[in-house]
Structure 1
Amino acid sequence: MNGKFVAYYRVSTAKQGQSGLGLEAQKSAVEKYLNGGNWELVGEFVEVESGKRKNRPQLNAALALSKKRKATLIIAKLDRLARNLHFISGLMEARIEFLAVDNPTANRLTVQNLAAVAEEEARAISSRTKAALASAKARGVILGKNGSKLGAENRERAFVAAESLRPTIQELRKAGVTSVREITAALNRLKIPTPQGRDWHTTSIHRLLKRLGS
């Protein structure tokens, strides 16, 4: 590789930031990709917060430095940027070049499309969840203070959360994504979290499919 680069790394929790979990893997991926050639890493920025938030100061700083030094913004994984259309639009308006190590052929149009799809899917999931919760409440189910989170004391909430994901699972299967591992990877790739806001694992997919009776 040649030229100037600004690296941006993001971890979702303070615990991950302190332990280096996830962060070291991102740094390693960037270093391996840039290995060789005449390149300069002019800055590195680490964000410790949810990717759902639009206000990310470290990302803003990375973008500002990239623009000032006419450098390419480099990230380890495409999903670190392609989370919302608002940010992608800003990236395009700023005319900043970017590079995702795990998808180096992705261009601005690719990322904009991914962001639009992810944002629309998030809205759809939210609408389906609200509808399922409203239906449960109408049947007299007591959901507690936060009906979007699962609780051992209320099995009905688990059913409601599973039902909100049924259309997504059906669409994945129509597309040929059928195994537990494939569904796990697809939901994580689409940044659709578990009801607890975490990444999916094969065990949680097994429980989800069991609740859906499929």
Structure 2
Amino acid sequence: MANGKFIAYYRVSTQKQGQSGLGLEAQESAVMSYLNGGRWELVESFTEIETGKGANALERRPQLRAALEQCKKMKATLVIAKLDRLARNVHFVSGLIESGVEFMAADMPHANKTMIQIHAVMSEHERDQISARTKAALTAAKARGVVLGAAGAANLKPNIEERQQAAEEFAGKLKGVIEGMKARGLSQRAMCDELNKLGIKTARGGEWSLIQLQRVMSRIAQGINVVR
């Protein structure tokens, strides 16, 4: 159960998304679900609307900087909906930890600072891998004579959409299993162990890890269509 004073930080990536509230309501819901129960007080909330691009995160995120300063003044804990709402940058997450402000993510409520750093490392690695695969795909397409630019993007779109659909279908098939384990009170690590013991493979046919489980759970939480 949550206890003490909390300051919430919400972030959306574009002005359009900020005006529409897209993504913001889901973040607020996740934070309130985490705080449900216990003796807690949400003393203030900060909402950031920015692109997420650039070198210095705190300079680009005045609301985050203000939230951290307020946490120090009030001895409060910074709470966010998802770790990637802060950054997929190891250097930035390390700096946040060194700031002395206690913070937690509603999607990783039991994670300590070491686990959060590991998550940031894996997220940054995943981002770099996606970038590398995209560049390789574009290079290969160009070598085959595919016209890049707007037309080139159109050539890659069906493949991207196909992968997205496959991921959603896979998560949908596991929805009942995962919700059943959650109802039994299993931790995410225990869920991974049980899935592996049952011989249930990941979408790529491998063993389950926390990050892979969290990706599937995230898709389920976003209200995907269950495909059976």
TM-superposed CA distance for 1:188, in Å, is 6.8
Q: Equivalent residue for 1:49? A: 50
Q: Tell me the SS of whatever aligns to 1:83.
A: coil
Q: Equivalent residue for 2:176? A: none
The separation in 1 between residues aligned to 2:29 and 2:145, in whole angstroms, is: 52
Shift in CA distance, 2/158, structure 1 to aligned 2, threshold 3 Å: closer
Q: Which amino acid aligns with 1:44?
A: S
Q: Equivalent residue for 2:141? A: 136
CA contact (8 A) 1:51 1:80 kept: no
Q: Which runs of structure 2 are paired with 1:79-90 in the superposition (5 Å)?
A: 79-81=84-86, 83-90=88-95
Q: Tell me the SS of whatever aligns to 1:95.
A: coil
Q: Equivalent residue for 1:26? A: 27
Q: Equivalent residue for 2:188? A: none
Q: Equivalent residue for 1:209? A: none
Q: Equivalent residue for 2:204? A: 173
TM-superposed CA distance for 1:161, in Å, is 6.1
Per-residue CA shift, 1:111-132, capped at 9, x if unaligned?
A: 1101111111211221222122
Shift in CA distance, 132/188, structure 1 to aligned 2, threshold 3 Å: farther
Q: Equivalent residue for 1:125? A: 130
Q: Equivalent residue for 2:96? A: 91
Shift in CA distance, 29/125, structure 1 to aligned 2, threshold 3 Å: closer
The separation in 2 between residues aligned to 1:187 and 1:26, in whole angstroms, is: 15
The separation in 2 between residues aligned to 1:109 and 1:83, in whole angstroms, is: 15
Where structure 2 has 5 or more consecutive residues not aligned to the other structure, the ranges are: 165-201
RMSD between superposed Cα atoms in Å: 4.0
Q: Tell me the SS of whatever aligns to 2:11.
A: strand
Q: Equivalent residue for 1:15? A: 16
Shift in CA distance, 144/39, structure 1 to aligned 2, threshold 3 Å: closer
Q: Equivalent residue for 2:113? A: 108
Q: Tell me the SS of whatever aligns to 1:66.
A: helix
1:70 aligned residue (75, 90, 103): 75
The separation in 2 between residues aligned to 1:112 and 1:38, in whole angstroms, is: 28
The separation in 2 between residues aligned to 1:23 and 1:186, in whole angstroms, is: 21
Q: Which amino acid aligns with 2:205?
A: K
CA contact (8 A) 1:4 1:71 kept: yes
| Alignment TM-score, normalising by the size of structure 2 | 0.63
Q: Equivalent residue for 1:40? A: 41
Q: Equivalent residue for 1:196? A: none
The separation in 2 between residues aligned to 1:52 and 1:188, in whole angstroms, is: 23
Per-residue CA shift, 1:33-52, capped at 9, x if unaligned?
A: 33455433332110123445
Q: Equivalent residue for 2:169? A: none
TM-superposed CA distance for 1:187, in Å, is 11
Shift in CA distance, 20/106, structure 1 to aligned 2, threshold 3 Å: same
Q: Equivalent residue for 1:3? A: 4
